[in-house]
Chain A
Amino acid sequence: MLCGQAYDAHSLAAAAAMLATRFEWRSGLRAAGRWSGAKPPRRHWSTSSSTTTGPGGADAVPVSSAGSWEQEAEPKQFKYPGAQGSKFSAKFNVVQAKFRTPASTFRVLSEAGDLVGSAAAPASPEHAPSRHIALAGRETVSQMYKHMVQLRVMDEYLYSAQRQGRISFYMTSAGEEAAVIGTAAALKDTDPVFAQYREQGVLLWRGFTFQEFCMQCFGKGADKGRQMPVHYGSPELAFHTVSSPLATQLPQASGAAYALRLARKGSIKLPASTSGSNGSKKGRSAHSTAGPEDMIVTCFFGDGAASEGDFHAGLNFSATLGCPVLFVCRNNGFAISTPTKEQYRGDGVVMRGLGYGMDAVRVDGNDALAVEYTVREARKHIVEHQVPVLVELMTYRVGHHSTSDDSSQYREANEMQFYNERADPLRRLRAYMQRSGWWDDEQDTQYMQDQKRELLTAIKAAEKEPDTHPMTLFDDVYHELPPSLVEQRKELYNHLRSYPHVYKAAVHDMHV
């Protein structure tokens, strides 16, 4: 065991200095500009000193060389295969977690909606390109804001629909709209997405209609009423169906990204459906075709899910196999009632990327501009280098975990209020737009009203739709109905016919 006396001031300082410099270049946390290729990084990302061929031909994964087999008598470095590049030191260097300053949080919009720091500098040739950040322009910003409003309206209404007993369950994105919409805006609409469950904003961005959302929540959607509300999916929009078991999507995303990697090399061919059937329904034409050469997989997860074994497997696999995947952690402070301080002791989730040899960025998730910028840069990096990247979006879950939860049992009302007032992502982006002269109060009220009206129409329409027929219960278990299920289906059919007064569905017209 390490004990207190082992640390003298000198070695502590040395350790801290070592860590500071390392994290600077490795993580790219200090300057997002690194990814823009403004200044060549100290170690070039694409040309490592040597490359190895991993399983499946992961030949572009940069692995630093530890020198030749002929070691000098007293080597500075040594070929322990598990830590290549590590130098010997007679100093007792403890890699201390306690003395690390937390990774910074990238933000470009102040609470009041002003551009801050280098982002505030005008995009002009006088400024070094590394200080210039090409933020999203008017069109993208407006689109982001509008979708954030839509998301909030949808959440409000479907949440009430649950309270009224019209749907069985709901989960809101309240407080996290910028995190999800900002990410969606920076991706190509054809990029396959593996979501957790609080990312309906991605679907919204890609053109999933209010009607489609409502149909799923009312148990009448394309999933045939199989899953609980908010467990959306849309192959058309390259959005894998949500699954409740946490973190299972991370290694899956690595697998999907590995397929992209191989397809890009030409060693396999992916079906067109991988990128959705029609890109965006909104017909963003540039996005309507996609090949593996410009495609990444994106995987969302929460701060709680990041404690599951699958999280570690997902990150480690993608790093070792060179999978073009973007991991997006929505760190909203809670996993149901469990606060992040009981979830981990490290510096959030972002630092874990380093542990797996993966670049990582921490962003203010309530700053839509910062999120969009980061994801755009990360995406570029992933496409170019065929490596995974981890992005941690710092945010706060303003709503209850779900309609089954009452968060007043485990958090103070004034805490919620604080975040609601100080960190509301919608208000911040709206202020920015209004300051830029792109939006005004009147437009805002009008837009909100229009969305509410549309949503109410969608809810009513979904309610009127007929229920999915119970005989569909046996479909999709397998590609083809096996004999045992044919038999059970018949059994149920006969049963329903004998008890028409007990069951809701009429079966007389069913052919079995």
Chain B
Amino acid sequence: MTPDAMQALGVRRLCKLAAQLQTPRARQARDWSRGCATGLQQPPLLAVEPGEQGTKSMNLFQAINDALRLSLETDPSAIIFGEDVAFGGVFRCTTGLREKFGADRVFNTPLSEQGICGMAVGYASSGCTAIAEIQFADYIYPAFDQLTNEAAKFRYRSGGQYDCGGLVVRAPCGAVGHGGHYHSQSPEAYFTHTPGLKVVMVRDPISAKGLLRSAVRCKDPVVFFEPKALYRTSIADVPVRDYEIPLGVGQIVRSGDDLTLVAWGNQVNVCLAVAEMAEQELQASCEVIDLMSLLPWDRDLVMNSVRKTGRAIVSHEAPRTSGFGAEIVASIQEHCFYSLEAPVARVTGWDTPFPLVHEAYYLPNKYRMFDSIKQVLGVHDDARKFVKSVLRDHVVAQL
């Protein structure tokens, strides 16, 4: 195949790579030297100093629990409430807190989400800290009015005389394998459409602890989403100390220069997996960004990355139409139009309610992302095979 033909197949980028003779290992070494881990390994966090002493292995619910404990310890006005939180919560996030801090500060409420959020608004507006739990993000809608009309506008409508900062509403979100419509949703976009709220979704125990501590201290109401699939499965060495990860700041969790993948929550983990796959199979290097905060979001981080790579895919579990990905894609074309080498793609849940038995076909898993990466890179299967063989030959020749 002539270079021309390869060009015609849209594999310009891979030809360039082949020419650079980079093996995956070489690339990995370079990434390490930049201080960024590759693959699924836990990347260093903003808040965790290298070689940090005093860490403890925690899963996500334990890290959340730790942040909640710190909040109650450091802020005497802080209270935690919601459905079934007294015995530890259906996901165990509040385990042991009632025993430690008493029933006045950690308690069950009657079963009413609008009641929970309304109460949280009122308590927070009295200058105190309210940490409310909605049992599943799917059940946050009865509280929609309290959050979007009340919490979000509390400061603005009074001209800044009143506010309900010190309000955090935590809610488990996302797919879990067997949740169906009402135990799997990712409703973040409903809230990112509401000026006045801050919106967070976490991807692992370390970021969760730091973000939750920030959210609790934040001067604005925060809707805080925790992917329930990660409560037990995501495990990391979490610093024992009290630390914060600032809201509004994203993080590059894997660096690369061929393509930018933007995600949040559990989808970041899918991006890390597909980045590895792209590395192995396409010799393509993906930069993975975890936005962490969706409102406000770290636009500069994304734009700088896309200016560097010229290509981007945004991915989320929620349906595509009017998903938060749409906002990011629009901003990319606004700010990076002249750097783009391909249309910005979205890999998302389909525009259907979340199904039960067909969850595997609904989710934007790494294979669907891989398809999209190939398309964005302009890689056709035949060409990919060809280039891979060229690369292999080169590597063999080098040995």
13 A-B Cβ contacts within 8 A? A219-B356, A226-B353, A245-B142, A308-B112, A338-B110, A342-B86, A468-B357, A470-B360, A474-B350, A488-B320, A502-B367, A503-B361, A505-B361
- Tell me if A130 counts as interface (CB < 8 A to partner B): no
Chain B positions within 8 Å of A336 at CB level: 83-84, 90
Contacting pair B321 A307 (CB below 8 A): no
Contact of B87 among A219, A231, A244, A337 (CB under 8 A): A337
- Tell me if B180 counts as interface (CB < 8 A to partner A): yes
Task: State the main secondary structure of chain B at its contact with A.
Answer: loop
- Tell me if A310 counts as interface (CB < 8 A to partner B): yes
- Tell me if A419 counts as interface (CB < 8 A to partner B): no
Closest to B320 in A: A488
- Tell me if B178 counts as interface (CB < 8 A to partner A): yes
- Tell me if A344 counts as interface (CB < 8 A to partner B): yes
Stretch in A24-32, A103-111, A454-462, A491-499 touching the partner: A491-499
Contacting pair A226 B178 (CB below 8 A): no
- Tell me if A155 counts as interface (CB < 8 A to partner B): no
**Residues 12-34 (chain B) with a chain A CB within 8 angstroms:** none
**Residues 161-220 (chain A) with a chain B CB within 8 angstroms:** 168-169, 219
- Tell me if A353 counts as interface (CB < 8 A to partner B): no
- Tell me if B7 counts as interface (CB < 8 A to partner A): no
- In this complex, how many residues of chain A approach chain B with their Cβ under 8 Å: the count is 48
Chain A positions within 8 Å of B107 at CB level: 342
Knowing A226-B180, A243-B182, A335-B83, the reply to whether A307 touches B110 (Cβ < 8 A) is yes
Question: How many Å lie between the Cα of A488 and that of B321 in the bound state?
Answer: 11
Contacting pair A468 B358 (CB below 8 A): yes
Question: How many Å lie between the Cα of A95 and that of B370 in the bound state?
Answer: 68
Contacting pair B352 A474 (CB below 8 A): yes
**Residues 60-117 (chain B) with a chain A CB within 8 angstroms:** 83-84, 86-88, 90, 107-115
Question: How many Å lie between the Cα of A473 and that of B181 in the bound state?
Answer: 12
Query: A residues bordering B, Cβ < 8 Å?
Result: 168-169, 219, 225-228, 231, 243-246, 304-305, 307-310, 335-338, 342-344, 404-405, 409-410, 467-468, 470, 472-474, 477, 484-485, 488, 492, 495-496, 498-499, 502-505
Question: How many Å lie between the Cα of A477 and that of B353 in the bound state?
Answer: 7
Chain A min CB distance to B92 (Å): 10
Knowing A307-B112, A338-B83, the reply to whether A245 touches B141 (Cβ < 8 A) is yes
Knowing A404-B90, A495-B367, the reply to whether A477 touches B352 (Cβ < 8 A) is yes
Contacts A246-B111, A308-B113, A342-B108 known; 8 new A-B pairs at CB < 8 A: A226-B180, A227-B181, A228-B180, A308-B142, A336-B90, A343-B111, A477-B352, A504-B360
Query: B residues bordering A, Cβ < 8 Å?
Result: 83-84, 86-88, 90, 107-115, 138-139, 141-142, 177-183, 320-321, 350-353, 355-358, 360-362, 367-368, 371
Contacting pair B353 A228 (CB below 8 A): no
Contacting pair A309 B142 (CB below 8 A): yes
Chain A positions within 8 Å of B181 at CB level: 226-227, 244
Closest to A225 in B: B357
Contacting pair B84 A467 (CB below 8 A): no
Chain B positions within 8 Å of A219 at CB level: 356-357
Contacting pair A485 B351 (CB below 8 A): yes
Chain B min CB distance to A215 (Å): 12
Contacting pair B358 A169 (CB below 8 A): no
Contacting pair A244 B111 (CB below 8 A): no
Question: How many Å lie between the Cα of A484 and that of B86 in the bound state?
Answer: 45
Contacting pair A495 B83 (CB below 8 A): no
Question: How many Å lie between the Cα of A225 and that of B178 in the bound state?
Answer: 11
Task: State the main secondary structure of chain A at its contact with B.
Answer: loop
Knowing A169-B178, A337-B87, A473-B362, the reply to whether A305 touches B183 (Cβ < 8 A) is no
Q: Which 8 pairs across A and B sit closest by C-beta, in order of nearness? A: A225-B357, A244-B182, A168-B178, A307-B110, A219-B357, A470-B361, A304-B111, A307-B111
Closest to A492 in B: B361
Contacting pair A409 B362 (CB below 8 A): no
Question: How many Å lie between the Cα of A172 and that of B175 in the bound state?
Answer: 24
Knowing A228-B180, A338-B111, the reply to whether A492 touches B350 (Cβ < 8 A) is yes
Contacting pair B371 A498 (CB below 8 A): yes
Chain A positions within 8 Å of B361 at CB level: 470, 473, 492, 496, 503, 505
Question: How many Å lie between the Cα of A469 and that of B391 in the bound state?
Answer: 40
Contacting pair B183 A470 (CB below 8 A): no
Chain A positions within 8 Å of B111 at CB level: 246, 304-305, 307-308, 335, 338, 343
Contact of A488 among B87, B183, B351, B356 (CB under 8 A): B351
Question: How many Å lie between the Cα of A492 and that of B138 in the bound state?
Answer: 25
Chain A positions within 8 Å of B178 at CB level: 168-169, 228
Contact of B351 among A226, A246, A477 (CB under 8 A): A477
Contacting pair A244 B352 (CB below 8 A): no
Chain A min CB distance to B177 (Å): 8
Chain A positions within 8 Å of B139 at CB level: 245-246
Chain B positions within 8 Å of A468 at CB level: 357-358
Chain B positions within 8 Å of A245 at CB level: 138-139, 141-142, 182
Question: How many Å lie between the Cα of A231 and that of B356 in the bound state?
Answer: 11
Question: How many Å lie between the Cα of A485 and that of B320 in the bound state?
Answer: 11
Closest to A304 in B: B111
Chain B positions within 8 Å of A498 at CB level: 371
Chain A min CB distance to B175 (Å): 13
Contacting pair A473 B352 (CB below 8 A): yes
Contacting pair A409 B87 (CB below 8 A): yes
Question: How many Å lie between the Cα of A69 and that of B351 in the bound state?
Answer: 59
Chain A min CB distance to B367 (Å): 5
Closest to A338 in B: B108
Knowing A337-B86, A477-B351, the reply to whether A484 touches B358 (Cβ < 8 A) is no
Chain B positions within 8 Å of A344 at CB level: 110
Chain B positions within 8 Å of A338 at CB level: 83-84, 86, 108, 110-111
